[in-house]
Amino acid sequence: MAIERALLRNGGRLQAAARELGISRVTLYRLMNRHGLRGGEDATGAGTGRG
């Protein structure tokens, strides 16, 4: 999915991923919620110890 790839390329940074996708951060949050995705560090599997 494009959202997941953008998040991975941008290290889980939502603002950067949204910019890459050409959408607002709010729209990105809404799309992530609709598709059951989590943001922030969880997007890359880093930082939580839960990978």
pLDDT at 41: 56
DSSP 8-state assignment for residue 48? S
With vertex at residue 10, the alpha carbon angle to CA 9 and CA 14, rounded to the nearest 5 degrees, is 130
Closest CA relative to residue 39, chosen from 25, 23, 49: 25
The ranges assigned to domains in the chain are: 2-38
Q: Is the pTM of this model over 0.75?
A: no
Burial 9-42 (b: 16+ CB within 10 A, else e): ebebbbeebbebbeeeeeebeebbeeeebebeee
Q: What pLDDT does 49 receive?
A: 40
**Span 1-51, pLDDT tens digits:** 999 999 999 999 999 999 999 999 999 999 999 999 987 655 545 443 434
Which ranges constitute the DSSP H helices of 1-51?
2-9, 14-21, 25-34
